[in-house]
């Protein structure tokens, strides 16, 4: 596992052996600044607290994670500015935000699809839109309810990611501009597989909330002296473990990499906005 430790607003000195990986992280971050036109977000563990299996089956258990509303509003407000008739920015800068989530609790008949969409997601959207204008925050909410693992839409399969790419095609011929933020290996696998099938580069960010908390805790413990009130994250270039210490990332297949590991969604947004 090759790591590049990065901090916004403070320089971090790194061994010379990491020089090439640091350059790659720098280049990708600069390409992404202001240019991520399509944000793909997992739900449980990224937007709201992960309550474990079988998921959120009672709307009262849907609780936003800290700073999630502010982070999502930041993306939406920037988009609103870009879409203003008086704005000098072009439509190429307009951002779209798509929620991509597995909801097998519906397929297992624990809750109905109507309860998922008309109660849980409705309340989520209403809370997000408060203070962010009349528009519903998410441009699309894609979900798969089937509990069957052999399903092209259920993550780690790439189906929903490919659907999002078709719904919101790139405004430029370049390959940059898509980011997937998730908290699990299956999220990163879905993004990686969609990248292979579509030919579009998809920046992958694993957040340290939900299932990603174990990965973040391991890295934070190893580099504890670097964690303070700054925004801190890691750029992981490959799954190869070049250090003696074991990591949960060792179990991630090659298609998951390269990826960023950020403390939470707020840190992920801070990297690219």
* Straight-line distance from the first to the last Cα atom of the chain, in angstroms, rounded to the nearest whole number: 27
Burial group, residue 160, by CB count within 10 angstroms (0-12, 13-18, 19+): buried
What is the rounded distance in angstroms from the CA atom of residue 20 to the CA atom of residue 116?
A: 46
The first and second tokens of residue 73, run together, are 């509003």
What are residue 7's DSSP bridge partners?
232
What is the rounded distance in angstroms from the CA atom of residue 203 to the CA atom of residue 38?
A: 10
What are residue 140's DSSP bridge partners?
98
| Residue 119: DSSP 8-state | I
| Residue 252: DSSP 8-state | S
Q: Give residue for tokens 């937007």.
A: 47
Residues taking part in catalysis: 42, 44
Burial group, residue 163, by CB count within 10 angstroms (0-12, 13-18, 19+): middle
The first and second tokens of residue 183, run together, are 């908290």
Contacts with 245 (C-beta within 8 Å, 6 or more apart), sequence order: 222
């Amino acid at each position: 596992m090759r790591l590049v430790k990065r901090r916004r607003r403070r320089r971090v000195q790194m061994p010379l052996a990491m020089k090439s990986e640091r350059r790659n992280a720098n280049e990708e971050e600069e390409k992404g600044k202001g240019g991520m036109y399509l944000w793909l977000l997992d739900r449980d563990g990224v937007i709201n607290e992960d309550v474990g299996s079988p998921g959120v089956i009672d709307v009262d258990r849907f609780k936003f994670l800290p700073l999630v509303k502010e982070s999502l509003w930041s993306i939406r407000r920037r988009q609103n500015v870009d879409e203003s008739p008086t704005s000098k920015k072009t439509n190429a800068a307009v951002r779209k935000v798509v929620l991509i989530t597995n909801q097998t609790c519906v397929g297992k008949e624990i809750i109905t699809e109507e309860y998922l969409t008309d109660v849980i997601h409705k309340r989520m959207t209403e809370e997000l839109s408060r203070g962010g204008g009349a528009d519903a925050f998410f441009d699309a909410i894609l979900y798969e309810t089937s509990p069957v693992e052999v399903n092209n839409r259920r993550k780690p399969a790439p189906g929903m990611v490919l659907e999002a790419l078709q719904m919101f095609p790139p405004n430029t011929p370049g390959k940059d501009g898509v980011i997937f933020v998730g908290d699990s290996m299956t999220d990163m696998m879905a993004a990686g597989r969609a990248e292979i099938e579509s030919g579009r580069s998809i920046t992958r960010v694993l957040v340290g909330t939900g299932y990603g908390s174990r990965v973040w805790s391991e890295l934070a413990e190893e580099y504890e002296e670097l964690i303070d009130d700054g925004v801190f994250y890691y750029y992981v270039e490959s799954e190869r473990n070049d250090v003696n210490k074991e990591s949960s990332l060792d179990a991630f297949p090659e298609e998951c990499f390269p990826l960023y590991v950020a403390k939470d969604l707020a840190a992920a947004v801070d990297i690219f906005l």
